[in-house]
Structure 1
Amino acid sequence: MISAAGRRTWRVSTHAAAALTLTLAVTGCADGSGTGSAAGEVTSITVLDYYTDESEHAQWNEMLGACGKAAGVEVEHTSVPPASLVPRVLRQASSRTLPDLLMLDNADLQQIARTGALTPLDRYGIDTTGFAEGILSAGTYEGEVYGLAPYVSTVALFYNKDMLAEAGVAVPRTWDDLREAAAGLTRPGRYGMAVDASATFESSWQFLPFLWSNGGDERRLDTPQAAQALRLWVDLVSSGSMSRSVLNWTQAEVHDQFAAGRTAMMINGPWRIPALNADEDLNWGVAPVPVPRTGQKPVTPLGGEVWTVPQGPSEARQQKAAQVLACLNSPANTLTLAEQHFTVPSRTEVVARYAERNPSLAVFVESVEGARTRTAELGARWPRAATGIYTAIQSALAGEQTPEQALRHAQRIATGD
């Protein structure tokens, strides 16, 4: 789900090299099928993901190739645009032409697993211990683990330190603080705050910390708690503290507004940090997403992609794919990948060391501890709720409906009424 713009060039590190010398958690077996030698030995597997950004595709291509080499196979790596991945997977599932190894946004795993297209990872002896409960649940469907995420992410509040200091504004911790800070930071040519309020799942993703931290629930969108959260965003726009153009801004465009000094604060993810660090004139900080009341902790959504082994005609190919999946999720490689992509490693044994080495990501590490998966309550029905949420955001911020009216309509979308 999350845009990869601005991530740094991938380099093989000593961590990756060390990881590839480890004994993999899964051992392969050949059953006489697949591509390769005259004896039918599997010598290559196919991989599909949505890492179309040139640098990111190259990063993953190198890591997949290294893990493939450790498993004794060549990796044929294909990337498609994010919006094309699930439709393609559903078509391939019906025609039984799925790749051997498949990456999915964790919010999409439920609907794909429900079709029977994926295989439980315990079939291959993959050890799923050592992952935080919330992270492991992102790859679980009906009690079976179908996917593992090498790293995860969430969102936080980025702010321009110089602008806050100049305006005498403290970093906002509560919603009231946020309203005051955004107003105090707004100037001609500059807004105090920016979010992604576009008609996409990115908008729903950014709204969830406000919904959940106020006690709202995606199972019932037409509640006072949900309306209060949406009212906050409406107030920021109607007061002039946030541009009405957020209705059209993606997360990447929100970042661009922040980097250009046209907004003093923004909600965004850790994958923006490399680009922020590259701007020597930008003095920025990061804090937890503001909460309704003092003393609360924000409840943020868990982002990241899970790697899965689809059903296929060759058990031997599935075994090789599982070996590569296990390699990607080894402790050393989760650390390496998280550092490369400015995300949070998924293994608990790695997280503390990671936070010490990457202080700018400490807020994200802390937020991930209590983060929720988007499919935790609704499972495969989450995309309908997400559509309802961003539809309500669009309507309310455009002034077409009140937050209450917009969320009643969202609830009808979510339930199919």
Structure 2
Amino acid sequence: MTHRLLGITALAAATALTMTACGNSSSAPVAQTDGEVSGEVTMWMYPVIKDEAKNREFWEKTEKAFESENPDVDFNVELQTFDKRDTQISAALAANSGPDIVMITPDQASTYHEVGGLLPVDEAIDDEKDSFYTSGIEAATIEDQVYGVPMFQNVNTTAYNKEIFEEAGLELPKTWEDIKEAAPILAEKDISVLEYVGSPEQTLNLTFYPFLWQAGGSIFTEDGSDIAFDSPEGIEALQFILDLQEMGGVVQSAGTDSPAIEGSPMARGQVALRATTSLPELAQLRGALGEETVVLGEPLEGEVQATFGNPGLMALTSINEEDNRQAAYAVLDFLSTAEFQSEFTKLASNFPTRTDVELPGTGPDYEALEAALEYAIPGEPHAAARQVMAALAPYLQSALRGDLSAEEALTQAAEEARGILSRT
């Protein structure tokens, strides 16, 4: 499937745009709807705001702000965890019992749309659609209809422990070749050059897929009819990681390491770089290693530069009843305003999806993440994307354990994934 880059060409101008201020970071924005709708709307929200207390406080205030302008709508935000999110949402859709609105990613939107689990939201954002960056709307568009309000933009890029490289007399590596050259030098100091998290707790969008994309490969063929990760590019990507592991450039426990930053090999100073790092994760690394120790750079480059980054979409589910539709539209309209997005992206340390909202900060970190948007890929939207990811992950673990070669792992995973496609 063709990679749809999330390069937001107008984003560089966003910092010059003005917006309406909406109070301190814990305040909720003012709702903009007219108060004439009625109903009950349940929304499942996930911890994009990493601070649990701030997350809860923000959404409680958001509920009250919306309901003060819409007294006949009972708006309930149910805070969820990312653990088993796909299973949770799929079960709710199958039972036709759960949220009217749920936060999902573009690849999830493709999956749930395929089974009739989502409703279009064009009517809810018609007046605001031109205020969003085109790429965010495109990522949410399926068959010419929009299936989610782009509420925030994620992007990841390379984080370096610069002290490790300085002490070894090395430049910060920017390409695969640079990394392979640095690996044996750092291994002599009992330091791995690259952090790779192979645990099934971590999405492959943040582990194997960016290396696959950097090799010029993809998960699916361009038309989405077949698996493509067992291509020479896919084998090259996995072999790159295995070669690093063999020379001490990736820790031996990579196949089971937790995705948590706290206590991770990099946070302990045992690894020199992390290829996919978000702004909140950067703050955690600096908390462990020191403010001046960790810096951001551009996404790594193999055959091409690539990283993972996608918009978070607030989607309307098929659980929402027709007589409750206008109430759900009112909530989505509220969540799409510049005032709301400005507050939310500041607290979440994410990028806005609207052209009239400023970036949540300034300085080198935001400049690096803004530059990374040009190379960001929002996963590969496909109805079987999540099932294929789940099938592939154990084979990657087997390769990291040394049980399978790169070619064996991807060939066997592709056979299982093709079975999934035939049944989807």
What TM-score comes out, normalization by structure 1 length?
0.82
Cross-structure match for 2:378? 373
Task: Name the aligned partner's letter for residue 401 of structure 2.
Answer: A
Q: Distance in 2 between matches of 1:17 and 1:239?
A: 48
- Per-residue CA distance 1:122-143 (angstroms, 9 max, x = gap): 2335432333343223323332
Q: Greater helix percent: which structure? A: 1
CA distance in 1, matches of 2:409, 2:298: 27
1:341 aligns with 2:351: no
In 1, the alpha carbon distance for the partners of 2:289 and 2:125 equals: 48
Aligned-pair CA distance for 1:387: 2.6
| Aligned residues of 1:174 and 1:290 also touching (Cα < 8 A) | yes
Whether the 8 Å CA contact 1:16–1:333 is kept in 2: the answer is no
Matched residue of 1:307: which SS? strand
Structure 2 gaps of 5+ residues are 1-20, 221-227
Q: Which deviates more, 184-193 or 267-276?
A: 184-193
Q: 1:238 aligns with which of 234, 242, 246?
A: 246
Are the counterparts in 2 of residues 29 and 319 from structure 1 also a CA contact under 8 Å? Answer: no
Structure 1 position 159, deviation (Å): 0.9
| Matched position secondary structure for 1:218 | coil
The structural deviation recorded for 1:237 is 0.6
Any conservation in 2 of the 1:196–1:254 contact (CA below 8 Å)? no
Shift of 1:65: 4.0
TM alignment of 1:187-206, pairs within 5 A: 188=189, 190-200=191-201, 202-206=203-207
Counterpart of 1:35 in structure 2 is: none
1:375 and 1:324 mapped to 2: Cα distance?
A: 28
* Other-structure match for 1:207: 208
Residues 384 and 415, structure 1, Cα contact 8 Å, conserved in 2? no
**More deviation, 195-204/64-73:** 64-73
CA RMSD of aligned residues (A): 3.0
Q: Please name the residue that 1:364 is paired with.
A: 369
1:31-42 paired onto structure 2 within 5 Å: 41-42=38-39
**C-alpha distance in structure 1 between counterparts of 2:348 and 2:188, whole Å:** 34
Contact preservation (8 Å) 2:268, 2:288 = no
Q: Is the 8 A contact 2:183 2:248 kept in 1?
A: no
In structure 2, the partner of 1:286 is: 296
Counterpart code for 2:87: P
Q: Distance in 1 between matches of 2:280 and 2:286?
A: 11
Q: Normalising by structure 2, report the TM-score.
A: 0.80
> How many residues are treated as equivalent by the alignment?
386
User: Partners in 1 of 2:196 and 2:125 — Cα distance?
Assistant: 43
What is residue 261 of structure 1 aligned with on the other side? 269
Structure 1 residue 320 displacement after superposition: 2.3
Tell me by how many angstroms 1:22 deviates: 6.9
Alignment of 1:18-417 (within 5 A): 20-21=29-30, 23-24=32-33, 29-30=36-37, 41-42=38-39, 44-51=40-47, 54-55=52-53, 56-72=55-71, 73-126=73-126, 127-186=128-187, 188=189, 190-200=191-201, 202-219=203-220, 220-253=228-261, 256-267=264-275, 268-279=277-288, 281-282=290-291, 283-293=293-303, 296=304, 298-312=305-319, 314-315=321-322, 317-350=324-357, 353-354=358-359, 357-376=362-381, 379-416=382-419
Tell me, in whole angstroms, the C-alpha distance in 2 between the residues paired with 1:168 and 1:67.
Answer: 56
TM-superposed deviation, 1:361: 2.5
Q: Partner amino acid for 1:172?
A: P
Aligned identity (percent) is 22
Matched to 2:169, the amino acid is G
Partner amino acid, structure 2, of 1:366: A
Residues 407 and 18 (structure 1), Cα distance of their counterparts in 2 relative to 1, 3 Å cut? same
Distance in 2, Cα, partners of 1:337 & 1:313: 25
Alpha-carbon distance in structure 1 between the residues aligned to 2:108 and 2:170? 40
User: What code does the residue aligned with 1:226 have?
Assistant: G
- Return 5+ residue gaps in structure 1 as ranges: 1-11, 31-40
